[in-house]
Every structure is written in C-alpha cells, then in structure tokens.
Amino acid sequence: MVVYKLKRRGHKLKQIKNEYIYIRIKEERLRLGINQAQLARKAVITPAAVSQIEKGLRTPSIPVLKKIANVLGVSMDYLSGATSKPELNDLLQDKKIHEFYKGFQSLRSDDKKTILKNIEFLQEKYKTGN
C-alpha cells in the first residue's frame, strides 16, 4: 500500500510510505557493498536517517527517496515496489551508464564496433570462467 502526503500549496507529493522501501534500500545498499554511512554521505542525508529508514521507523520524503534511488542506481518505482526488479529505466539513472552512453554515441561507427566486440569477448570470458 502506498500512502502519499500532499503539500498544502500546489499539491505536490511530499511523503511516501511503503513496506517495500526499507527492504529494498537495504538490499540494494548491500548489493553495492556500501555501509549506511557511505549511503548517507553520497545521498547527502544523515546516517541516522538511513538507519531509521532501513528499520522501517522513518518514512523518507520524496526528495530523500530520489537521492537514495540515485545513489543506489535504481528507480523510485523499484524502491517503492511499483516494479518488481530493476530494469532499463533504473540503469538509465546510473550516472556512469549515462556518461558511457553519451560517450559511445559520439564515437565513429568502427570504434563502436570495436567496443561491442570487446564487450562480447569479456562476456564470453566470464561465462567460461577464464
């Protein structure tokens, strides 16, 4: 169940409450191998806020949830349970992926082919365990 609190002026979304949020934030943080303090520092929030959110004691505001989602490289929809897995939209929020795409798009066609061949080579290398 998603609950929204509305601001009085302008009716903008201010708060979101969802049982998925605290579970998914912790899962994604652990997947990235960062601790609560690192997540807090990167999201420019307090470590106490991250701890309380992950314990389900505090509901993040929409702006805070957006900051956390950006750091974790997933969408707010994923964190709130609106989607069941991180998807392409989540990847597109990752700044490194965005920068890579911009750089890739600016390359010549033959350079793009070389990069794609290298990616295929690395994928095959890791499949075979070499």
- Stated pTM of the model: 0.59
pLDDT in tens, 12-27: 444 455 678 899 999 9
Domain span including residue 53? 3-90
| 79 and 118 part of one domain | no
| 105 and 82 part of one domain | no
Res. 102 pLDDT band, cuts 50 70 90: confident
Q: Burial, 6: exposed, middle or buried (Cβ in 10 Å; 0-12, 13-18, 19+)?
A: exposed
pLDDT at 9: 43
Q: For 101-112, what is the mean pLDDT?
A: 89
| 125 and 66 part of one domain | no
For residue 40, give the CATH number of its domain.
1.10.260.40
In percent, how much of the chain has pLDDT > 70? 77
Domain count, the chain: 2
